Structure 1
C-alpha cells in the first residue's frame, strides 16, 4: 500500500503522523511511504532521517493526497485538505467530529474511509490511541495553569505550591480518567491542594488508596461541582464521552462565582468543552477572560510539546497502521472490533453512533462496511 504523510498545517501544530521508526516498520512490511518535505523538521526529524528509513520525500501535500491510498495525520483535515480527499482513500488521524459539523460534512462528501484515533477501543475498555495525548494534555494542564496564575499572564498572582506559611493553590479536577489522573499527579507533585470529582466511585477509591489524605475525592453532582468550582483557584476539565460532545458541567454562573484571576483549563475542548464559557483557542492566542477568570482552551495542547507527543502517539498508532496497510481497511476492520470502533465516516455515511447523535445525522453501523 502507498501511505502518505502530509505536513500538518493547523495553527501551531508541529507533530507528524509517522516517525522515521514507524516509516521503517511499514517499509519492512513491504509498503511504500511518502512524506512531505519538512513534515518533521520542527521536532528534529529531518527529511534525511525519513529517507534513510525508506520513505520517498515529496515536495507538496497535493502530490501525497493525489496518489496515497492511506493518509496518516495527527490533527483533523483542514478545509484545503478536505478538498483533496478521494473516495475509498483511507484517512487515519484524530477527527473529533462531534462539535465540528463542517468537517463532518466535508468527510461525508469526500467518500473517504475515515478512521478516528480517538474512538478506537481496546479489550477491557479504554481508548488506547487517545490515551497518550490525554496523558500529555493532563500533565500540561497543570503546567499552563501554574503559569497563568501569575500576574503577567492575567492570574491572581498565586504560586501553585505555595510556600511555608502561605496556602497553596486549590486545584479542582473534573474527571478521573487519563487526563484527570495525569493532572492529579502533576498537581500533587507541585504541592497543590487537589479535589478530584468523578461519578465512578470505584475510580475515586483507587485514587484514594494511592494518594490518601493528599487529595480530596468527591462523587460528581451538580452541587459538588458548584461548591468546588466556587472555592477553586484552578479548574481542570477532563471529562470525556467517546465520540460524543463533552457534557457542559460548569455553567456561566459557576464561572462568575470564582475569584478574579482564577484559571480554568478545558482539556475537553476538542469535543466541544465542558465549561459553558469555553471556545477553542490556539497556541498563538491561548487564553481569554470571562468574568475575571482566565480560560485556557487550546484545541491541540500536545502540539506545544510536539516531539514528546509525536513519539508517544506513534507508539500507539503504528500497530493499527500496519494492520490497515497489510490487510486493507475492510478486512482489518472486519477482524478487529476495536479498530472498527474507530470508523467514523465511510463512503458518505456516518458510522459512529455517538458522532451521528451529536451531529443529528443518520447513522449506518460500521459492520455494514467491513467484510
Structure 2
C-alpha cells in the first residue's frame, strides 16, 4: 500500500502522524511511505531520519494527497484540505465528527473512507488510540491550569499546591476516565486538593482506592456540580462519549456561582465541549474571559508537547495502521472489530451512530457495508 504523511497545517499543530521508526516498520512489510518535507520537524524528527528509515520525501501537501492510498494524520482535515481528498482514499486520523457538521458533510461529499482514531474501540470499551493523547491532555490540563491561575494571566493568583500555612488550590475534575485520572494524579502530586466527579460508582470506588488522600470522589449530578464550582479554583472538563457530542455539565448560568479568576479547562472541547461557554481556541490565543472566569479551550492540547505526543501516538496507532496496509481496509475491518468500530464515514455513507445522531443524518449498517464490499471483491 502507498501511505502518505502530510505536514499538519492546523494552527499550532506540531505533531506528526508517524515517526521514522514507524516508517521503517511499513517498509519492512513492503509498503511505500511518502512524507511531506519538514512534516516531522516540529516534533524533533529531521527529513534525513525519515529518508534513512526508507521514506520518500515530497515537497507539498498536494503531492502527498495525490499519491497516497492511505493518509495518516493527527488532526482532522481542515477546509483547505477537503478538495485534495480523493474518492475511496482512506484517512486514518482523529476526526471528532460530532463536533463539526461542515467536516462531516465534506467527507461525505468526497466519498472518502474515514477511520477515526477516537472510535477504534476494544471489547472492554477502552479506546486504545485515544488513550495516549488523553494521558497527555489530562496531565497538560493541570500544567496549563496552574499557569492560568497566576494573576498576570487573570487567574485567582493561587499557587496550585499552596505552601506551609496556606491552603492549596481546590481542583474539580468532571469525569473519571483517562483524562480525569491523569489530571487528578498531576494535581494531587502538586499538592492541590482534588475532587473527581463521575456518574459510575464502580469507577469512583476504583479511583478512591488508587488515589492519594488529597483526592475526594463524588457522584456527579447537577446539584453536586453547582455546589462544587462555588469553591473550586481550577475546573477540568474531562467527559467523553465516544464518537458523540459531549454533554454540557457546566452551564452558562453556573459562571455566576464561581469566584473571579476561576480557571476552566475543557479537554472535551474537540468533541463539542462539556462546558457550555467553551469554544475552541488555539495555542496562539489559548484563553478568553467570560464573567471574570478564565476559559482555556485549546482543541489540540498535546500539540504543545509534540515529541512526547508523536512518539506516544505512533506507539498506539502503528499496529492498526499495519493491519490496514497489509490487508486493505475492507478485510482488516472485517477481521478486526476494533478497527470496524473506527469507521465513521465510508464512500458517502455515515456508519457510526454517534455521528448520524449528532446531525440527524441517516445511518448505514457498517457490517452490511463490509459484506457488500466483500461480495464485490469476490465478483470482481
1:354 aligns with 354
Deviations 1:264-323 (A, max 9, x none): 000000101001111000000000001100000000000000110000000110011000
Using the TM superposition, give the Cα deviation of residue 368 of structure 1 relative to its aligned residue in structure 2, in angstroms.
2.4
2:231 aligns with 231
Using the TM superposition, give the Cα deviation of residue 212 of structure 1 relative to its aligned residue in structure 2, in angstroms.
5.1
1:255 aligns with 255
2:170 aligns with 170
Change (3 A) 1:54 1:223: same
Distance 2:125 2:244 in 1: 16
1:39 aligns with 39
Deviations 1:306-365 (A, max 9, x none): 110000000110011000000001100100111100001000011100111012111112
**Secondary structure of the corresponding residue to residue 8 of structure 2:** coil
Distance 2:198 2:26 in 1: 40
**Secondary structure of the corresponding residue to residue 357 of structure 1:** helix
Is the contact between residue 195 and residue 218 of structure 1 (CA under 8 Å) also seen in structure 2? yes
2:69 aligns with 69
1:124 aligns with 124
2:378 aligns with none
What is the TM-score of this pair, normalised by structure 1?
A: 0.99
**Secondary structure of the corresponding residue to residue 171 of structure 1:** strand
Question: How many residues in Structure 1 have an aligned counterpart in Structure 2?
Answer: 371
2:179 aligns with 179
Deviations 1:11-44 (A, max 9, x none): 0001001100000000001100000000001122
Using the TM superposition, give the Cα deviation of residue 64 of structure 1 relative to its aligned residue in structure 2, in angstroms.
1.1
Using the TM superposition, give the Cα deviation of residue 210 of structure 1 relative to its aligned residue in structure 2, in angstroms.
1.6
Is the contact between residue 353 and residue 365 of structure 1 (CA under 8 Å) also seen in structure 2? no
Note if 1:285 corresponds to 2:285: yes
Using the TM superposition, give the Cα deviation of residue 213 of structure 1 relative to its aligned residue in structure 2, in angstroms.
3.1
2:342 aligns with 342
What pairs with 1:149-160 in structure 2 (closer than 5 Å)?
A: 149-160=149-160
Distance 1:215 1:17 in 2: 35
Query: Which sections of structure 1, spanning at least 5 residues, go unmatched?
Result: none
What is the TM-score of this pair, normalised by structure 2?
A: 0.97
Q: Quick check: 163-172 or 361-370, which moved more?
A: 361-370
**Secondary structure of the corresponding residue to residue 167 of structure 2:** coil
User: Runs of at least 4 residues of structure 1 off by over 6 A?
Assistant: none
**Secondary structure of the corresponding residue to residue 11 of structure 1:** coil
Distance 1:367 1:253 in 2: 44
Distance 1:345 1:143 in 2: 35
Is the contact between residue 99 and residue 359 of structure 1 (CA under 8 Å) also seen in structure 2? no
Distance 1:300 1:213 in 2: 31
Distance 1:43 1:89 in 2: 26
Distance 2:367 2:29 in 1: 27
What pairs with 1:288-367 in structure 2 (closer than 5 Å)?
A: 288-367=288-367
Query: Which sections of structure 2, spanning at least 5 residues, go unmatched?
Result: 375-380
1:88 aligns with 88
Note if 1:198 corresponds to 2:209: no
**Secondary structure of the corresponding residue to residue 98 of structure 2:** coil
1:6 aligns with 6
**Secondary structure of the corresponding residue to residue 152 of structure 1:** helix
**Secondary structure of the corresponding residue to residue 95 of structure 1:** coil
Distance 1:55 1:89 in 2: 20
**Secondary structure of the corresponding residue to residue 211 of structure 2:** helix
Q: Quick check: 249-258 or 343-352, which moved more?
A: 249-258
**Secondary structure of the corresponding residue to residue 104 of structure 1:** helix
**Secondary structure of the corresponding residue to residue 98 of structure 1:** helix
Using the TM superposition, give the Cα deviation of residue 367 of structure 1 relative to its aligned residue in structure 2, in angstroms.
1.3
Deviations 1:180-228 (A, max 9, x none): 0000000000000011000111111111112253211101111111111
Is the contact between residue 236 and residue 264 of structure 1 (CA under 8 Å) also seen in structure 2? yes
Q: Quick check: 267-276 or 78-87, which moved more?
A: 78-87
Is the contact between residue 330 and residue 369 of structure 1 (CA under 8 Å) also seen in structure 2? no
Using the TM superposition, give the Cα deviation of residue 82 of structure 1 relative to its aligned residue in structure 2, in angstroms.
1.3
Distance 1:39 1:369 in 2: 34
Using the TM superposition, give the Cα deviation of residue 238 of structure 1 relative to its aligned residue in structure 2, in angstroms.
0.2
What pairs with 1:48-63 in structure 2 (closer than 5 Å)?
A: 48-63=48-63
Distance 2:279 2:3 in 1: 34
Is the contact between residue 160 and residue 191 of structure 1 (CA under 8 Å) also seen in structure 2? yes
Alignment RMSD (CA, Å): 0.8
Is the contact between residue 192 and residue 214 of structure 2 (CA under 8 Å) also seen in structure 1? no
Distance 1:213 1:46 in 2: 45
